[in-house]
Amino acid sequence: MSVPVKSIGIVGARGYVGGELVRLIASHPHLEIAFVSSRSTAGEEVAVHVNGAPAGLKFSSLEAPDVAASPADVVILALPNGEAHRYVAEIDASERPDRVIVDVSADYRFDDSWVYGQPERFRETIRGATRISNPGCYATAAQLAIAPMVDALNGPATVFAVSGYSGAGATPSDKNNPEILRDNLLPYSLTGHIHEREVARHVGHPVHFLPHVAPFFRGISVTVSLPLADAMTIDEMAQRYERAYGSEPLIQLTGAKPPLVRDIADQHHVSIGGWCVSEAPARAVAIATIDNLLKGAATQALQNVNLACGFDELEGIANG
Ligand SMILES: NC(=O)c1ccc[n+]([C@@H]2O[C@H](COP(=O)([O-])OP(=O)(O)OC[C@H]3O[C@@H](n4cnc5c(N)ncnc54)[C@H](OP(=O)(O)O)[C@@H]3O)[C@@H](O)[C@H]2O)c1
């Protein structure tokens, strides 16, 4: 049976996440690009900025009403936090409000009228959805590392996280300034980071989140310390992750061997492993690594588009 082609537009396509999306969608068999929008590069060839972009494709600068009037069946918003609402409002008010929107910012991750797009945990709710909030990059790694253990915890999970500087986006800031990052590790937002609230909300358990930026470009390593009600063996811990993720194509379990951040760059999956336990106090530790721009953003967004459109979930995603 032939699968109908859907047209897709990307707003914020000049950014790091937008670029990854253009590259992935260009080789998707059932998606065709309706537009790629950027204000600063409007009129320029996308291929000049994004390796793997289709020849002849150009950026255009579309305001929210232009996006709503476009023929796109699917719109991905890859904008800074706080910018999505006006695009959503225009599409809501348009003649085709039932189009699929995937927002990669944090703007709808706390909104119950949107579906939270973490396929390995909430796959069935994403199928056929039209408003999907893509999880954060740190939040994806942290929640996948915590979720299989949540019923065994007797206190907040602590998440020590280190991100490459592409996590801060392409717009210049201290967190992607090579001079500040050189030979350095930059702690920031050590209380109240938005991903702390996001993980706590979506795993249903309190989390203490300690983010840092490092001088490498892409990839995140999160080390999760889990206080346990009762001591657990390494085998019991490993079985929990195997039960939760053993059949997931985009989660690789590394067992007692800790996953390393340099191995996850350019990969579509999350690696989880490095199990450690202690008896007194009863505690377990797990490590997760993720490419923040792929499974932490673009790959997960494409999984969500595929589920929303009824395509195979991994269509257009080479299994990394
Ligand atoms: N980087 C990551 O690892 C990562 C991971 C997961 C989620 N996210 C989230 O994904 C979103 C995009 O992140 P990014 O890293 O790709 O950011 P980025 O590199 O800074 O790109 C932001 C994009 O948004 C456009 N833009 C900026 N301000 C805008 C405005 N006021 N109105 C319309 N367009 C605007 C920019 O293009 P023009 O200025 O040319 O229009 C650019 O294309 C953010 O919400 C971020 O939190 C990022």
Atom of ligand 1 nearest to the CA of 163: 3
> How does strand 74-77 pair with strand 100-103?
parallel
Cα–ligand 1 centroid distance for 285 (angstroms): 33
pLDDT range class, residue 3, cuts 50, 70, 90: confident
Instruction: Please name the residue whose Cα sits nearest to atom 23 of ligand 1.
Output: 12
Q: Which pLDDT value is given to residue 319?
A: 41
> Can you tell me which residue has the tokens 């717009």?
171
CB of 63 sitting under 6 A from ligand 1:
no
So which residues are the catalytic ones?
137
* Mean pLDDT score, 217-228: 98
- Determine whether the shortest distance from the Cβ of 40 to ligand 1 is under 6 A: yes
How do the domains of the chain map onto residue ranges?
6-135+296-309, 137-291
Q: What's the mean pLDDT in 225-232?
A: 98
For 150-179, what is the mean pLDDT? 96
CA nearest neighbour of 117 among 125, 194, 267 = 125
Does residue 93 surpass a pLDDT of 50?
A: yes
Nearest atom in ligand 1 to 169's CA: 15
Best residue among 11, 16, 48 to mutate for probing ligand 1, ranked by most atoms within 8 Å of CB = 16
| Residue 314: exposure state from Cβ atoms within 10 A (0-12, 13-18, ≥19) | middle
Residue 124 pLDDT grade (very low, low, confident, very high; cuts 50, 70, 90): very high
The reported pTM is: 0.97
* Averaged pLDDT, 10-32: 97
* pLDDT score, position 291: 98
159 has a pLDDT exceeding 90 = yes
Atom 17, ligand 1: which residue's CA is nearest?
A: 169
Pairing of strands 270-278, 220-227: unpaired
Please check the confidence at residue 1 and state whether its pLDDT lies above 80. no
Interval between CA 78 and ligand 1 midpoint (Å): 5
CB 195 within 8 A of CB 138: yes
Taking residues 223-228, report their average pLDDT: 98
- Average pLDDT of span 6-32: 97
- In CATH, the architecture of 137-291 is 2-Layer Sandwich (3.30)
Whose Cα sits closest to atom 31 in ligand 1?
83
Q: Kindly state if the Cβ of 19 falls inside 6 Å of ligand 1.
A: no
For residue 17 and ligand 1, the question of a CB distance below 6 A is answered with yes
Query: What is the predicted pLDDT for the residue at 163?
Result: 98
Select from 131, 21, 116, 34 the least CA-distant residue to 85: 131
Closest by CA to 199, choosing from 162, 146, 252, is 146
pLDDT on residue 63: 98
Question: Has residue 210 got a pLDDT over 50?
Answer: yes
- CA–centroid distance, residue 75 to ligand 1 (Å): 15
Residues with Cβ within 8 Å of 66's Cβ and at least 6 positions away in sequence, in order, are: none
Residue 2: the pLDDT is 81
Q: How many angstroms does the Cα of residue 84 sit away from the middle of ligand 1? A: 10
Specify the pLDDT at position 60: 98
| Mean pLDDT of all residues in 54-74 | 97
Beta carbon of 41 within 6 Å of any ligand 1 atom: yes
Evaluate: CB of 297 within 6 angstroms of ligand 1.
yes
Instruction: Report the pLDDT value the prediction gives residue 4, as an integer from 0 to 100.
Output: 87
- CA of residue 201 to ligand 1 center, whole Å: 24
Decide if 6-135+296-309 and 137-291 have a common fold: no
pLDDT score recorded for residue 225? 98
Q: How far is the CA of 73 from the centre of ligand 1 (A)?
A: 21
pLDDT of the residue at 320: 38
* pLDDT at residue 248 in the model: 98
pLDDT given for residue 318 in this prediction: 76
Mean pLDDT of the chain: 97
Structure confidence at residue 111 (pLDDT): 98
Residue nearest to atom 14 of ligand 1 (CA): 169
Superfamily of structural domain 6-135+296-309: NAD(P)-binding Rossmann-like Domain (3.40.50.720)
